[in-house]
């Protein structure tokens, strides 16, 4: 049995992984989610009101009207208003990653 050149094997594995990376990563382009999904998966399960207050209100650039990624960040007082909050997932996830240190994750609604 021949010896395996570990360095060559490692380089081959890296090359294959790099080529297949696109397939491994989920493409978020064009995907939309609701506030519940976003808060659970991108905001540490903070409450909907917390996300509205400390992300959408604090950072108006998140609003699609300002070139952002959230539609109806403050829906009407009644859920029957028909103004559901819609989040464009790809730019939202990129914004969260870029701005995670600007968000006060310890902020409390009961102040």
3-state secondary structure of 83: coil
**Burial 48-60, CB ≥16 within 10 A → b, else e:** eebbbebbbeebe
Give domain status of residue 73, yes or no.
yes
Q: Does a structural domain hold residue 68?
A: yes
**101 to 93, 95, 96, 104: CA distances (angstroms):** 14, 11, 9, 8
Determine the Cα–Cα distance for residues 77 and 56; give it in Å rounded to an integer: 16
Q: Is 16 among the domain residues?
A: no
Domain assignment of residue 71, yes or no:
yes
**pLDDT tens by residue, 4-29:** 788 888 888 888 777 776 655 667 78
Q: Is 30 within the bounds of a domain?
A: no
CA distance 98 to 9: 35
- Which neighbouring-strand residues pair with 87? 33, 70
How many domains are there within the chain? 1
Structural domain contains residue 49? yes
The residue segments making up the domain with residue 57 are: 44-99
Within a domain: 84: yes
Q: pTM (2 decimals)? A: 0.72
pLDDT, tens digit, 9 for 90 and up, residues 30-73: 899 999 999 999 999 999 999 999 999 999 999 999 999 999 99
Structural domain includes residue 39: no
């Amino acid at each position: 049995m021949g010896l395996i050149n570990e360095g060559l094997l490692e380089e081959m594995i890296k090359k294959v992984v790099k080529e297949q990376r696109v397939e491994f990563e989920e493409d978020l382009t064009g995907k939309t989610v609701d506030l519940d999904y976003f808060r659970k998966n991108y905001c540490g399960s903070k409450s909907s009101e917390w996300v509205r207050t400390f992300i959408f209100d604090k950072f108006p650039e998140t609003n699609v009207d300002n070139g952002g990624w959230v539609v109806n960040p403050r829906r009407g007082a009644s859920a029957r208003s028909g103004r559901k909050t819609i989040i464009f997932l790809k730019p939202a996830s990129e914004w969260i990653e870029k701005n995670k240190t600007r968000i006060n994750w310890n902020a409390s609604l009961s102040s």
